[in-house]
A and B are shown apart, each in its own frame.
Chain A
Amino acid sequence: MIRAYHIISIILFFPILLVQTTVIPLLVIDTVLPDLILILLVYYSITQGQIYGSVLGFVYGFLIDIITGTTLGSAMIAKTLAGFTAGYFSSENKKDQYLISYNFALIVLVSSLIDSTINAFFSSVNFTANIFMLFFQFALLPAIYTASLALLGMIFYPKRRAF
């Protein structure tokens, strides 16, 4: 059954991708870019569960590959696994705790690490070079940047009231 949040999560993707492809390149720090789509994906994975996170990651990945011209399938696998990982933190009891605390940024960091590592792998990067340097440059730095942005987003997230 299709629910409102299913449609909203897909509709939200397009303005976020618009910002990602036009505004975010202006925030580049030595070729390292944050990934807003991933933040959105992590949010939905935590609130709606692991299966929903995996499927949404699959759909987001497909749309990214189709629209930006990257190898079809690479972002799909990366985002599916990122959504699946973020979904591990989906729990009815702890949902709000994950969303309004610094834990959200940590979950984004873990998911982003998986997303960036798989993307780098599918981009057939030269692995004869120092693997740790490549991991640092391709996965860790974008993940930290994305998590930092998620941390900023926490400021604007409405805190739960006592009653």
Chain B
Amino acid sequence: MIRFFLSLWENFKEYIVLVVLLIASLFLLSQNNTAGIQRVRTIAFGTFASITSVFSDMFSVGSLKKENEELRRTNAEMMLQLSRLREYGITNADLKGLLALKDSSKFPLIPATIVSKSLSKSQGTVTINAGSNQGVKIGMPIISDKGLAGIVYSVANNYSIARTLNNVDLKITVKSERTRENAVLKWNGDWLVMINVPKTFDLRKGDRIVSSEISSIIPFPLPVGVVYEIGNVQQGIFNEVKIQPFVDFQKVENLFILGIVKSKEIDNIELNFLKRQ
């Protein structure tokens, strides 16, 4: 028996090792979101990012960095302001005189620079130099001066990993700014698409797409992109709408983290309400 196994090993050891490694990989694939794996990931990318940040700094011009950051902050704040004002304008036209809308408070912006970008085309992630020490939490939206860039996925002390819109695992609810119709936005590996859009929706090429209030991740409308093409019109009952994002993920270097986690805010409100009962 032992001789049989020994000869089996001698003849097929390459294949046996391969099968064992593949089984181990598949096992880890099913353990992706466990606390242990997340902890290992946080330590690993936190350590590596601290080295990467030194390296990536060599590529940026030091004296212009701060001024650039300030300008981008102003730009990002103005973009948020503009986005809110657009929303207020449209809402006011619809509900004028009926609702007293409260003035939303200013959202905190945490500046960050990309220290590395992922290798994968379909699982776009960026490592940024802001972490829990700067107040970053999992689920916070990241924005550039152009619009929504992604969502924070994993946080270490001074660094975070964020999933960009070019990541098949990130799906967000968006709406057309003109028609107010909602749909789910995802990256299909090639394009950003709004999926399962009913044909009755009056979307047109060039319509601005913003994040929706019904999204459980993003608290208020942030610019995402414009309608580029409406596909699958002839067949089926749904359209698939291609979106051209505002953020160019190949060129973007500086980002801001919107210091708010919507679901936690909702949880807190509901908790306070229950306490008052």
Q: How many B residues face the partner with a CB closer than 8 A?
A: 47
The complex places the Cα of A50 from the Cα of B163 at a distance, in Å, of 35
A61/B25 in contact, CB under 8 A: yes
Nearest-Cβ distance from residue A120 to partner chain B, whole angstroms: 6
Chain B residues near A50: list those with CB within 8 A: 14
User: Which residues of chain B come closer than 8 Å to A93, judged between CB atoms?
Assistant: none
Chain B residue numbers with a CB within 8 Å of A20 are 119
Q: Mark A41-72, 1 if CB is under 8 A from B, else 0.
A: 00000000011001101100111101111111
Majority SS at the chain A contact face? helix
Which residue, B28, B40, B125, has most C-beta atoms of chain A within 10 A? B28
A25-B117, A76-B28, A80-B25 given; A69·B189 CB < 8 A: no
Q: Does A33 contact B (CB under 8 A)?
A: yes
> Across the interface, which residues of A come within 8 angstroms of B81, CB to CB?
none
A160 to chain B, nearest CB (A): 27
> In the bound complex, do residue B51 and residue A120 qualify as a contact, i.e. CB atoms below 8 Å apart?
no
CA distance A77 to B14 in the complex (A): 15
Q: Which residues of B contact A80 (CB under 8 A)?
A: 18, 21-22, 25
Task: Decide if B179 is an interface residue (CB 8 Å cutoff).
Answer: no
Most chain B C-beta atoms within 10 Å of own C-beta, residue among A58, A67, A123, A134: A67
| A134 CB contact (under 8 Å) in B14, B59, B190 | B190
- The contact of B122 among A25, A73, A87, A120, by CB within 8 Å, is A120
A21 within 8 A of B: yes
**Who on chain A is nearest to B28 by CB?**
A73
Chain A residues lying within 8 Å of B153, measured Cβ to Cβ, are: 69
Q: How far is the CA of A76 from the CA of B37 in the complex (A)?
A: 15
Residues of B within 8 A of A (CB): 13-14, 17-18, 21-22, 24-32, 37, 40-41, 44-45, 48, 51-52, 55-56, 59, 115-123, 125, 127, 153-154, 161, 163, 168-169, 188-190, 250
Extra A-B contacts (10), CB below 8 Å, given A69-B163, A72-B29, A80-B25? A68-B125, A69-B154, A73-B28, A73-B32, A81-B18, A87-B14, A123-B123, A123-B189, A137-B190, A138-B122
